[in-house]
Amino acid sequence: MPAITVDSLTKSYGQELALEELSFEVEDGEVFGFLGPNGAGKSTTINLLLDFIRPTSGRIEVLGLDAQAHSRDIRSRTGVLPEGVETYERLTARQHLEFAIDSKGADDDPEALLERVDLADAIDKKAGGYSKGMAQRLMLAMALVGEPDLLILDEPSTGLDPNGAREMREIVREENERGATVFFSSHIMEQVEAVCDRVGILRDGEMVAVDTVEGLRESAGSGTTLRVTVDRIDDAAMQAVRSLADVTEARLEGGDPPVITAQVDGSKTAVLGELEDRDIEIQDFSTREASLEDVFQSYTTGETGVEAR
């Protein structure tokens, strides 16, 4: 049984379509990255999963239950980190957690939860004085209450520094190992690629790609970008580089000294060798693997291809 089934989901506000015929599934036990630029419809989808808003048409099942008819049952087994939400400024972290524990009928220890998110020293401080990152840690701790079967994390890295974001991913991993399914939205590929089994990319209310991280990487055209700084260049040399078997594309970026960028599938040394054979001095070179960020960019901004950036 999938943890989340979204089927032909449409949500419109008057004339404006926020989601259009969106369909996808999240498997039980996986970490699913829900990726898309701001405004793509990620929060709308999450609001629909949690019955905060109602679909115009389509069907949603969470943990095998209808998202509207059984919302309470779903939420009793789900931990949620909502996005862009203020905490209760007059309540302490302990009171926030006691409220969540009380609400879920769980028996967690507030202190232990706060230790997991590295907020234990602020346990009796009122949340009104928290920084954005501290508030985010508190909300993550609230989401963990009651060992939920499903974690829905909406932009969980918001306000966290790189170290905090890493700790957050660590918690996602731990929760997943415990057996929880994690649904994790973000607009930054880097944050999901490290932890997610599969990634769905949302664009303008439609799912444009759903695949494993490796699958997405392959679809990016697994090439490497080679940048070579040379003392001089001529058309014949460029032509020679382009005609190498392993080079799919090469461009002269000009400048002084000139820089050549080439998309290389196989051996990089062939390019360097070709240039040296022509007595062109290589001053510097660097390589960069095609990143998932490139894939994400290509899906969400350009029409096709990775070069659109």
Partner 1 sequence: MSTDTGAGTKSDASESTASSINLESVRAVAKKDFQDAVRSWVFWGLSAFFFLLIVGITGSLAYFGEDIAAEGATTAMLVFFASETTRLVIPLIALVLGWKSIAGERESGSIKILLSLPHSRKDVLLGKLLGRSAVLSLSLIVGFVAAAAVVAALLGGFDVVDYAALLLMAMIYGVAYTSIAVSLSSLTKSTTVAGAAMFSVFLLFYGVWNGILEALQQLMNRGTIDGVSYTAELTAPDGTTEEITQERLPDWALFVDMIDPGNAFQNTITVLSSTGGDELGTAYPEYYFADDVPFYLENWFSFIILLIWIVVPIAVALYRFDRVDL
Positions touching partner 1 (CB under 8 A) are 5, 7-8, 21, 23-25, 47, 50-59, 66, 68-69, 71-73, 75-76, 78, 80, 82, 84-88, 90-91, 95, 99-100, 102-105, 126, 139, 142-143, 200, 207, 210
Residue labelled with tokens 């054979």? 277
Nearer to partner 1, 51 or 294 (CB): 51
- Tell me how far, at minimum, the Cβ of 152 lies from partner 1, in Å: 8
- Tell me how far, at minimum, the Cβ of 305 lies from partner 1, in Å: 20
At residue 125, φ and ψ (nearest 5 deg) are -95, 145
- Tell me how far, at minimum, the Cβ of 242 lies from partner 1, in Å: 36
Sheet holding 16-26, edge to edge: 16-26, 4-13, 57-62, 65-66
Q: What is the C-alpha to C-alpha distance for residues 144 and 146, in angstroms, rounded to an integer?
A: 6
Nearer to partner 1, 54 or 309 (CB): 54
Output the DSSP codes for 174-226. HHHHHT-EEEEEES-HHHHHTT-SEEEEEETTEEEEEEEHHHHHHHT---EEE
- Tell me how far, at minimum, the Cβ of 55 lies from partner 1, in Å: 5
Q: Could you tell me if 40 and 300 are in contact, meaning their C-beta atoms sit under 8 angstroms apart?
A: yes
- Tell me how far, at minimum, the Cβ of 93 lies from partner 1, in Å: 13
Nearer to partner 1, 23 or 229 (CB): 23
Nearer to partner 1, 48 or 250 (CB): 48
For residue 129, the 8-state DSSP code is G
Q: Is the peptide bond before 37 cis (omega within 30 degrees of 0)?
A: no
- Tell me how far, at minimum, the Cβ of 125 lies from partner 1, in Å: 12
Nearer to partner 1, 143 or 196 (CB): 143
Nearer to partner 1, 88 or 232 (CB): 88
Q: What is the C-alpha to C-alpha distance for residues 98 and 106, in angstroms, rounded to an integer?
A: 10
- Tell me how far, at minimum, the Cβ of 106 lies from partner 1, in Å: 10
Q: List all residues 6 or more positions away from 213 whose beta carbon is below 8 Å from its beta carbon.
A: 193, 196, 197, 198, 199, 292
Q: List all residues 6 or more positions away from 218 whose beta carbon is below 8 Å from its beta carbon.
A: none
Residue type, 114: L
Nearer to partner 1, 119 or 207 (CB): 207
